[in-house]
Structure 1
């Protein structure tokens, strides 16, 4: 249609196409599975409530028990994703976890990838953490902790974990919040054995919210976390048997998907997220690890914001937002409209 590449309309169209390409969602073509197709109850009996159409499930915690589900299969590498809405109102001490593990099979040498929401006091920003273990390396935790830039109890958001032989990416909606590139120096600390997907809700009053300062209050029970739009991709295997050769095709498929790569726009969003909302990183915790663990990428400007304990220095981003919030007399989560959308 355009006879000349010098036509200004041509350049405008190309710019828009490229810009939309950078901003396109990593999750536009996900498979969406029913509970029966992909998941099984783990514990909690009546506290696990499936919807009539079997496309969503509610996990409840009351004073008697929590609840949880597990994927019906274990996967040798995979992509694990769900839309989740967290408990409303006061939920201090209540942990909602979305994670992969093989601890039921390899008790002393288990692998794990975690997203854990750490309870909340209404009006405060939600906090959560990611972590990973390989081959039972729980004494070398790789925690990072963050605040969310939205209220996850008001509507559903997508949380996802990608795990391949070469990288791990944690996603919140379309924002990659953490990327771990496997290095040879990690050795067996990099998860390598088949894992299942788990989701649980449970009482962690002794540590979850402000280090255990705020406990679960069952006056607000039952605490409810809702899950829907389940997506699982990967090579389904028997964890005891040798991994079949056809799993290499599954890895090729995973690594060809949009959720397996981070484009320039998403990488900028990840950088903004980590600058604004990460308040602890094991990579900067020199008390715990005098030498950073091998996968750590030390960014000098980022490192300057953290104390030797790996926590933000007083007067950092979090403290500035608290002061601004105090002046404006409204919740921190509403204090900066630009922070509600990173992409």
Structure 2
């Protein structure tokens, strides 16, 4: 496929994604059966597909964690799941819903993460988002937040929207983070086809207070429930590395004229700003231990810096995420506090 045609297809695909979010808000995007979009990754009997074929349980016990993976690679798209997390004592447990191409690009992989960090009894789950581009794992772009609800009480929707210029993370259709591609980021912005993963695993070495609290298998099995699985994007041929399918892509550029230039509406932006003021407890932009100079895309706010300083995040050690035969080292900072919504 000629480069100009590829670029045009990707432009159509990115424009389609903004329309897709509007459709998703009204729950019009198709929820696909597990077998049509995914396959087991690891864990054997620790992965259980419900009779309806559209819900799946992932469990962690002393023997193993578990996970699943999308059949297709995608270059941009709308990826969503309703997730209910394990309850009670969950220290050291990590549930992840993320995109990666580490199996194909081991030295220069891309990644877009939702990671849910378990906690000791009486403390809330924390949610972490992260973005890696072109293998820049030394420049992790982690942010960490509390939530305005208990994610173990019921299902909540977690969504990644990825285009050639933006990455937006949503919780229950509330945007919590927007990453806009800048020229200075260069290849640090994810730009290669990725696969979607969901996993539960033992991250005792780092997940809870820097590894102070480990997984206690007295409370196993730890079960994470997934439903309402949405895969809506531009599927890529893994061999030819060209776009093989772009779901509902406009057929001409005229169809894109009514698409807004941003995936976040003014009303949603207000919600996002309120969420971040009340619930964000860590941002890589303010981590002076890791970055003597903030990464180029960071916009430093003295008010935000002062608020985050109260949480006194500490850098936690390395852990391992299971990707079948591959393991990825995870870095970041840890905090215990979370503000109420």
**By how many angstroms is 1:57 displaced?**
0.2
In structure 2, relative to structure 1, the CA distance for the partners of 1:288 and 1:310 (3 Å cut) is: farther
C-alpha distance in 1 between matches for 2:198 and 2:137:
20
Deviates more, 1:149-158 or 1:23-32: 23-32
Query: Does the 8 Å contact 1:76/1:243 carry over to 2?
Result: no
In structure 2, relative to structure 1, the CA distance for the partners of 1:25 and 1:45 (3 Å cut) is: closer
Does residue 1:278 correspond to 2:280, yes or no? yes
**By how many angstroms is 1:284 displaced?**
1.4
Deviates more, 1:59-68 or 1:285-294: 285-294
Give the match's secondary structure for 2:274. Answer: helix
Q: Deviation per CA, 1:44-79, whole angstroms, max 9, x where unpaired? A: 010000001101000011100000000010101111
Map of 1:300 onto structure 2: 302
Map of 2:221 onto structure 1: 222
Give the match's secondary structure for 1:200. Answer: strand
**By how many angstroms is 1:243 displaced?**
2.4
Deviates more, 1:52-61 or 1:284-293: 284-293
C-alpha distance in 2 between matches for 1:241 and 1:255:
31
Bigger strand share:
2
Map of 2:267 onto structure 1: 265
**By how many angstroms is 1:242 displaced?**
3.6
Q: State TM-score, norm by structure 2.
A: 0.79
Deviates more, 1:158-167 or 1:118-127: 118-127
Map of 2:12 onto structure 1: none
Query: Does the 8 Å contact 1:95/1:118 carry over to 2?
Result: yes
In structure 2, relative to structure 1, the CA distance for the partners of 1:272 and 1:294 (3 Å cut) is: same
Give the match's secondary structure for 1:270. Answer: helix
Give the match's secondary structure for 2:187. Answer: helix
* Unpaired runs of at least 5, structure 2: 1-21, 315-334
Query: Does the 8 Å contact 1:58/1:224 carry over to 2?
Result: yes
Instruction: Say how many residue pairs are matched.
Output: 297
Give the match's secondary structure for 1:274. Answer: helix
**By how many angstroms is 1:42 displaced?**
0.3
Give the match's secondary structure for 1:283. Answer: helix
Does residue 1:56 correspond to 2:55, yes or no? yes
Does residue 1:65 correspond to 2:64, yes or no? yes
Map of 2:240 onto structure 1: 241
**By how many angstroms is 1:239 displaced?**
3.5
Map of 1:99 onto structure 2: 98
C-alpha distance in 1 between matches for 2:256 and 2:51:
31
Query: Does the 8 Å contact 1:55/1:229 carry over to 2?
Result: yes
In structure 2, relative to structure 1, the CA distance for the partners of 1:235 and 1:254 (3 Å cut) is: farther
In structure 2, relative to structure 1, the CA distance for the partners of 1:113 and 1:219 (3 Å cut) is: same
Q: State TM-score, norm by structure 1.
A: 0.79
